[in-house]
Structure 1
């Protein structure tokens, strides 16, 4: 009996740890779904006034409707789209009717469209305030001098274009701005917790099966 006691304990403890990780991911799934529901509610809400003191917690994803003028300057953020390929996000200054100048993420252009002349001037737009979280530990530093950006760093872009450190992601415009708007939505916010939970539970089941197989072999040898 002592020959199987330690493998049995090892198997049960290991399976217990794996199951607890699966349960944790289920809890994370419920949390993430609640977060996504709040984001969806904010995205689809009525447009607000452009805040004078924007706050990332309070105003992230808030919809706005603005009338003003799109500036000619552009910053280019390297990106790619599924089934389209590599390209750039085009960031321009946008000056509102009351004289505020902010950053406008106009949307996507393919790599071969980067140097095309795009429409500027008066426009009425709808979009969402955002502080994009593009940067990771592996993201290179932006080449500001060469106008090659690897992340939408709002503060640095505002300094480069001499705007307020506030970005609106374009959803639609009454004029063609020569880009494909990539409106804010929850589709690109990862929610893989269910897959993680299934993985942990599957590993727990495999762990128990292998423990049972090992114990069975030990018992057969001792029979």
Structure 2
């Protein structure tokens, strides 16, 4: 009898844990989908002039139209592009027509183009406001000698390039030329695999319940034989 009770307790506890993990993944799926819907809605909005004081929450992903001067100076963020291989995101200073100096994520350059000369001067383009959350306690500090950063950090990059802590990611920019590939904000690179994870946990819960039922049945059969 004690063995049956022990198997039953372990079985019920394990089933509860697996079902709770599956339910948690379903909640995460809804949370992630809400984020993706927010990004898509904001990115698809009509471009506006750069707000006077952009808010990192309310204005994140907002499309803006910029007119001003692409200034000299670049920060290179190490990334890898599918089909293109390793390279760098190019973060540059931009001076708006009203005199504000901000950051612009100009796009991707291959490693071989790191030292190439790129256009600076007067330009007009579209982009999206962004405050990337890419740094954590494991992010290495930038190599300032080789000009290699390992994540986009708006505050640190603004200090390095002497700009406001505002970043605009180019959505398209014809003056970039062939050496710079725009990396506009979209949801294609943000996976939402939580449904698959939920199915995995619920499947494990079903198998756990079946195994528990089988062990209980076998234990009862053995008791009856003895």
TM-score in terms of structure 1 length? 0.92
CA distance in 2, matches of 1:8, 1:103: 61
CA distance in 2, matches of 1:143, 1:176: 25
Cα distance per residue 1:8-37 (max 9 Å; x no partner): 232122112211221122122122212221
Matched, 1:117 2:117: yes
CA distance in 2, matches of 1:180, 1:207: 50
Query: Secondary structure, in 3 states, of the residue corresponding to 1:175?
Result: helix
CA distance in 2, matches of 1:30, 1:74: 38
- Which residue number corresponds to residue 167 of structure 1? 167
- What value does the CA root-mean-square deviation take over the aligned residues? 1.7
Structure 1: gaps (5+ residues): none
- Which residue number corresponds to residue 199 of structure 2? 198
Contact preservation (8 Å) 1:124, 1:174 = no
- Which residue number corresponds to residue 208 of structure 2? 207
CA distance in 2, matches of 1:186, 1:157: 24
CA distance in 1, matches of 2:156, 2:136: 16
Matched, 1:46 2:75: no
Structure 2: gaps (5+ residues): none
Matched, 1:154 2:160: no
CA distance in 1, matches of 2:90, 2:9: 59
- Which residue number corresponds to residue 56 of structure 2? 56
CA distance in 2, matches of 1:12, 1:176: 61
Cα distance per residue 1:124-165 (max 9 Å; x no partner): 111100011111332111123431111111111111111111
CA distance in 1, matches of 2:58, 2:201: 35
